[in-house]
Amino acid sequence: MAVTEQVPDPDALKLFSFNIFSQLSGAVTAGMIHIGDQLGLYRILASSDGLTSTAIADASNLSERWIREWCANQVAARIVSAEYSYGADEPCAQVDEKTIYKLSPEAVAVLANEEHPAFGMGMFHRLPATFDRLKDLPESFRTPRKYFYWNRYIGACTGKS
């Protein structure tokens, strides 16, 4: 199938590209939220007034390098806040071992406090099964075969397909 030659409007192209790549960013961040919950990282942050990536790694018994990368994603997504060791009037430097990561009270309610009505981590527990099912969907589009997502998800959770 040949692609028709059309000249895109440069401003509309920028906006469309931004929207598309924002969707990918959201998917990656959703995965990082799931990982943060599964590894207890939000609960560790919620139990403190702020921690360095080294302190989070020590508390979780995980690799500091991976914790630092996770924190960078969470700060970029505005989920976790960061207090940098350099001043606000200085040029932005690299994140260093003195950077302090914190959760706002709202973030604690949604991400770490299972008793709070706003707690939302249950929505992310299905994420791995949802992404895993993506490999089967193209064939469902090619054939009249029915695809029962929910049954497959239940099977993935119970070990019965």
In which band, very low, low, confident or very high, does the pLDDT at 157 lie, cut at 50, 70 and 90? low
Beta-carbon contacts of residue 75 (< 8 Å; ≥ 6 apart): 81, 82, 101
User: Closest Cα to residue 79, out of 128, 31, 23, 122?
Assistant: 31
Q: What pLDDT score does 92 carry?
A: 59
Q: Where are the domains of the chain?
A: 10-119, 126-161
Q: Please state the rounded mean pLDDT for residues 8-28.
A: 88
- How does the average pLDDT of the chain come out, rounded? 85
127, pLDDT greater than 90: no
Q: Please state the rounded mean pLDDT for residues 75-91.
A: 81
Q: Please state the rounded mean pLDDT for residues 2-22.
A: 88
Question: Looking at this protein, which amino acid is placed at residue 144?
Answer: P
| Helix H or strand E encompassing 102 | strand 100-102
Q: In the chain, pLDDT over 90 holds for what percent of residues?
A: 50
User: Closest Cα to residue 98, out of 86, 81, 82, 85?
Assistant: 85
10-119 fold = Arc Repressor Mutant, subunit A (1.10.10)
Question: Looking at this protein, which amino acid is placed at residue 107?
Answer: A
Q: What pLDDT score does 148 carry?
A: 59
Q: What pLDDT score does 143 carry?
A: 79
Q: Are 41 and 51 in contact (CB under 8 A)?
A: no
Question: Looking at this protein, which amino acid is placed at residue 76?
Answer: A
Q: Return the structure tokens found at 89.
A: 């009037």
